[in-house]
Amino acid sequence: MSTHPVTCPTCFEEFEVPLPSPDETPCEVDYDCEVCCRPMLIAFDSDEDGEVSAWARGLGE
């Protein structure tokens, strides 16, 4: 399974998240930071080549 680096919106540390398959995107999942354990939302989307990217944002933003 491939992963993608995201930056935690709370502690600004970077960590890798597992990517869903392209046909499951776009989607958003709740995720807990692997560094500070604070919750965040991670948005996944894919381009026309089936390349999946991920972005993290804080809850309530």
Footprint of Zn ion on residues 6-25 (CB under 5 A)? 8, 10-11
Site for Zn ion contains 56 (CB under 5 A): no
Site for Zn ion contains 59 (CB under 5 A): no
The residue type at 8: C
Site for Zn ion contains 36 (CB under 5 A): yes
Contacts of 14 (CB under 8 A, 6+ apart): 5, 6, 7, 8
Of the pair 29, 36, the CB lying nearest Zn ion is at 36
CB 54 within 8 A of CB 14: no
Q: Is 15 helix (H, G, I), strand (E, B) or coil?
A: strand
Name the site residues for Zn ion (rule: CB under 5 A): 8, 10-11, 33, 35-36
